[in-house]
């Protein structure tokens, strides 16, 4: 037997520990992991020179855009950014143009993406007008549903808890997860109206509008619904101490919920927002330091399930405006997330095991992504290869994302993305994209 590829002289995270080994790839899958003497013959051998290989990382929170928003990001630029950030699978949020909220729109989006993606891509859906369509969307292979509570994106009335309850019951029956952007629309609208009436359009006004209570209120509304429906709910980008406490209390009482933290909420605070201005404007916003401390405590204590980048690209013009209400919210993060987290490994705040758990094992489990999450025989040969010792400077000019701005620009990070393998093919090598679009696969949720 001659396999396609053998990686030699590497260290890898296998069975929850870092071991020296070789890894054979055949037909896009991991064929064998073991000592050199036990390896089959191979078409190609690649000496990894003691680099560290992790299970291909999954970013469960990405806005890939394309279609009507391709001027901000498209399938190829977004997945090239993922590849550059050693992310091998991304899950795409549905606030697109058109909004992903029907089987037909989803099918078209998958078809358009198929030939243009460098990494694997799965798709979320928003809620349609007609709830009968939900089952068709699930059948089409959507990985999960997304509920934006801060503004009306889908057709489910986000101000009507009974309507949400009914929709969640359906999702519960279909054993499909709902990811939630928890910011309470009615409270947010009241805050915004009051501030606008007072002619407030400065940076602080955005913080006042998106108050802590806006998050906590929405989390509590959803927890109340989960109590009645037992729907699997995943809270995106938890950013406040009280929001987090509500989630951990819900978990302690046995509710089927999980939550995400983003690198910007973990590594930046409201002071950075004031210093860096509108390019660091995101939703929910950066918070005061005590919230950041609470988030790190929760990471340490195991309450955070997933690190997601919330890669949310916009144009440079859209990120600048005199009037805060006119600025587009979001930070492109695919190329910064892993180097930032590896730097925290160096500082002792995280372990490699934490990163693998929160960016590979847990997302694979939650979103039912078959063949992903672990380095083991038979799994997809999605590999994240990093050099823990190499320092470099984050430089937005080098981004593959169309969005060339970042609050992390010029930060010195330690831990460099070196190679990205997707389904056994090397797609990024030393920062260069070395494969053609189409190497990524469309990931469909395993059907129940």
Question: By CB under 6 A, is residue 95 in contact with ligand DOR?
Answer: yes
Minimum CB–partner distance for residue 381 and ligand DOR (Å): 31
Which of these, 237, 246, 241, lies nearest to 290 by C-alpha position?
241
Q: Which two tokens stand for residue 275?
A: 């210093």
Q: Which two tokens stand for residue 17?
A: 């520990």
Residue 217 CB-density burial (10 A; 0-12 exposed, 13-18 middle, 19+ buried): buried
The entry of Zn ion, ligand DOR, none that residue 329 binds, CB within 5 to 8 Å by partner kind: ligand DOR
Number of residue whose CB is nearest ligand DOR = 330
What is the helix, strand, coil percentage profile of the chain, to 5? 35, 25, 40
Which member of 283, 286, 306, 435 binds ligand DOR (CB under 6 A)? 283
Give, in order, the Cα–Cα distances in Å from 443 to each of 89, 233, 380. 8, 20, 12
Question: By CB under 6 A, is residue 181 in contact with ligand DOR?
Answer: yes
Minimum CB–partner distance for residue 358 and Zn ion (Å): 17
- Residue 310 or 335 with smaller CB distance to Zn ion: 310
The entry of ligand DOR, Zn ion, none that residue 420 binds, CB within 5 to 8 Å by partner kind: none
The one catalytic residue among 184, 310, 354, 382: 310
- Residue 265 or 419 with smaller CB distance to ligand DOR: 265
Which member of 282, 333, 343, 425 binds ligand DOR (CB under 6 A)? 282
Q: How many residues bind ligand DOR (CB under 6 A)?
A: 8
Minimum CB–partner distance for residue 63 and ligand DOR (Å): 4
Question: By CB under 5 A, is residue 181 in contact with Zn ion?
Answer: yes
User: What DSSP string describes 88-156?
Assistant: EEEEE-S-SSS-S-SHHHHHHHHHHHHTT-SSEEEEEE---SSTTHHHHHHHHT--EEEEE-SS--SSS
- Residue 5 or 312 with smaller CB distance to ligand DOR: 312
Minimum CB–partner distance for residue 158 and ligand DOR (Å): 13
Helix axes 161-173, 133-140, angle to 10 degrees: 40
- Residue 31 or 148 with smaller CB distance to ligand DOR: 148
Question: By CB under 6 A, is residue 101 in contact with ligand DOR?
Answer: no
Minimum CB–partner distance for residue 102 and Zn ion (Å): 21
- Residue 239 or 425 with smaller CB distance to ligand DOR: 239
Q: Which two tokens stand for residue 344?
A: 């925290």
**Rounded-to-integer distance, Cα 203 and Cα 43, Å:** 58
Question: Rule CB under 6 A: which of 298-357 touch ligand DOR?
Answer: 312, 329-330
Question: Rule CB under 5 A: which of 296-335 touch Zn ion?
Answer: 310
Helix axes 103-114, 133-140, angle to 10 degrees: 20
- Residue 219 or 283 with smaller CB distance to ligand DOR: 283
Minimum CB–partner distance for residue 160 and Zn ion (Å): 20
Q: In which residue are the tokens 């987090």 written?
A: 244
Strands 412-422 and 383-393: antiparallel
Which of these, 278, 312, 289, 264, lies nearest to 203 by C-alpha position?
278
Catalytic (active site) residue 310? yes
Residue 131 CB-density burial (10 A; 0-12 exposed, 13-18 middle, 19+ buried): middle
The entry of ligand DOR, Zn ion, none that residue 95 binds, CB within 5 to 8 Å by partner kind: ligand DOR
**Rounded-to-integer distance, Cα 440 and Cα 422, Å:** 7
Name the site residues for Zn ion (rule: CB under 5 A): 181, 310
**Active site positions, annotated:** 310
Name the site residues for ligand DOR (rule: CB under 6 A): 63, 95, 181, 282-283, 312, 329-330
């Amino acid at each position: 037997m001659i396999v396609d590829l053998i990686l030699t002289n590497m260290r890898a995270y296998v069975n929850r520990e870092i071991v020296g080994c070789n890894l054979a790839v055949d037909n896009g899958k991991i064929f064998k992991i073991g000592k050199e003497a036990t390896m089959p013959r191979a078409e190609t051998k690649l000496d990894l020179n003691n680099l560290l290989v992790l299970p291909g990382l999954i970013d469960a929170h990405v806005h890939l855009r394309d279609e009507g928003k391709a001027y901000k990001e498209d399938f190829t630029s977004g997945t090239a950014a993922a590849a550059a950030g050693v992310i091998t699978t991304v899950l795409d949020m549905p606030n697109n143009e058109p909004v992903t909220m029907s089987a037909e729109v989803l099918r078209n989006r998958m078809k358009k993406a198929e030939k243009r993606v460098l990494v694997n891509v799965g798709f979320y859906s928003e809620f349609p007008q007609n709830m009968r369509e939900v089952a068709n969307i699930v059948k089409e292979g959507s990985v999960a549903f997304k509920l934006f509570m801060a503004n009306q994106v889908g057709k489910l009335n986000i101000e009507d808890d009974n309507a949400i309850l009914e929709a969640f019951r359906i999702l519960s029956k279909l054993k499909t997860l709902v990811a939630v952007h928890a910011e309470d629309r009615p409270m947010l609208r009241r805050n915004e109206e009051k501030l606008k009436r007072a002619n407030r359009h400065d940076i602080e006004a955005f913080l006042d509008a998106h108050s802590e209570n806006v998050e906590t209120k929405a989390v509590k509304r959803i927890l109340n619904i989960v109590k009645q429906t037992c729907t699997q709910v995943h809270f995106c980008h938890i950013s406040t101490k009280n929001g987090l406490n509500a989630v951990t209390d819900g978990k302690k009482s046995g509710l089927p919920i999980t939550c995400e933290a983003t690198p910007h909420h973990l590594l930046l605070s409201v002071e950075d927002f004031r210093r860096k201005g509108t390019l660091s404007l995101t939703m929910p916003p950066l918070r005061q330091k005590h919230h950041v401390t609470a988030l790190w405590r929760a990471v340490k204590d195991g309450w955070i399930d997933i690190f997601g980048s919330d890669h949310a690209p916009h144009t440079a013009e859209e990120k600048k405006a005199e009037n805060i209400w006119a600025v587009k919210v979001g930070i492109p993060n695919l190329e910064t997330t892993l180097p930032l987290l590896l730097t925290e490994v160096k500082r002792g705040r995280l372990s490699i095991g934490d990163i693998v758990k929160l960016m590979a094992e847990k997302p694979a489990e939650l979103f039912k992504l078959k063949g992903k999450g672990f380095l083991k025989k038979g799994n997809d040969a999605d590999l994240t290869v990093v050099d823990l010792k190499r320092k470099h400077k984050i430089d937005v000019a080098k981004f593959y994302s169309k969005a060339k701005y970042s609050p992390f620009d010029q930060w010195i990070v330690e831990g460099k993305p070196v190679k990205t393998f997707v389904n056994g093919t090397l797609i990024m090598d030393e920062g260069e994209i070395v494969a053609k679009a189409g190497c990524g696969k469309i990931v469909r949720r395993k059907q129940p």
